[in-house]
Amino acid sequence: MKKILLVLDAAHVDTEIIQFACNFATLSHSSLTGLFVGNYEEEVPEVNIEFGAPYIEEPPVYSIGPNITLKRLEEHITLFKKACAVRGVRCQVEFNNNSYGAESVIEESRFADLLIIKASVTQERKLKDTPTSFVKDVLAAAECPVLVAPSSLAEIKEIVFAYDGSRSAVYAIKQFTYLFPELAEKKAIVLQVNKDEDMPVTEQAHLGKWLRLHYSSIGFQVLQGKASEELSAYLYDRQHTIVVMGAYGRNGLSELVKPATASPLLRSIDLPFFITHC
């Protein structure tokens, strides 16, 4: 992995997610691109007349959304660059006028290896729910894997692969493994939710054989019940864990990877979620 794209709200400096992204950039020896999103509007200065001649009393102010000026954006970019420099992370900065919603972020994701975002990023003035509609749009159409960051930092000691036997779930496992070979020594758990607890993990022998080529410690666990409820209960008290899931927002998916399952998890479980689709 060479390029990580970090989505940042231009109106707020989120030091936690910057540090989170820097940790992954350091782990994978990648560069970090801070993508600041906001609505860029140029305020038209008021022209006054004095002694028969027009004049502008104050210089024009450039506004990004309702709460930030161009000067404040530049301050936020400087803070981002300093945070990266302190941690020895190579960084770049881009600003996208977010008038077209998540489309600009999705376009940028086409040329990135990984996109990092918080579930609370939004264009709206008030946060109504998480994940926001903006983040849902990004998750549904991103053209690279997405890592949804938690609100607080924690060292990763365990990987949970949320698995349903689908092509999409296997693809997500492979993508995560290829992007983060540095996590090969962490404990890996393949978790499947079935209606019947006695049902074995789908193609466990094949999957286990592949995983053992990449991880030093793997385990399999089957839960019985509804995917969203069982996953939420399983993950609720866990710490130092990263969760890997398959496709988000695509047709024909199993219950495990539908937005109806993934969205409540992103809202209630404060863990990093790695989500990708074929």
Contact (Cβ atoms closer than 8 angstroms) between residue 37 and residue 105: yes
Please, what is the end-to-end C-alpha distance for the chain in angstroms? Answer: 18
Judged by average pLDDT, the poorest of 25-29, 55-59, 212-216, 230-234 is 55-59
Percentage of the chain modeled with pLDDT above 90: 49
Q: How confident is the model at residue 1 (pLDDT cuts 50, 70, 90)?
A: very high
Are β-strands 91-97 and 31-38 bridged in parallel, bridged antiparallel, or unpaired? parallel
Which domains occur in the chain, in start order? 3-39+70-149 (3.40.50.620), 158-275 (3.40.50.620)
Judged by average pLDDT, the poorest of 13-17, 104-108, 196-200, 242-246 is 196-200
Are β-strands 47-50 and 53-56 bridged in parallel, bridged antiparallel, or unpaired? antiparallel
46 vs 161, higher pLDDT: 161
How far apart are alpha carbons 249 and 104 in whole angstroms? Answer: 19
How far apart are alpha carbons 236 and 165 in whole angstroms? Answer: 23
pLDDT tens-place string over residues 67-100: 677 888 889 999 999 999 999 999 999 887 655 5
| pLDDT score of 245 more than 50 | yes
Q: State mean pLDDT over 46-60.
A: 54
How far apart are alpha carbons 238 and 154 in whole angstroms? Answer: 11
Q: State mean pLDDT over 217-240.
A: 90
Q: State mean pLDDT over 38-56.
A: 56
Q: How far is CA 265 from the centre of its chain?
A: 14
| pLDDT score of 198 more than 60 | yes
In eight-state DSSP terms, residue 44 is: P
For the chain, give the number of residues. 278
**Whole-model pTM?**
0.85
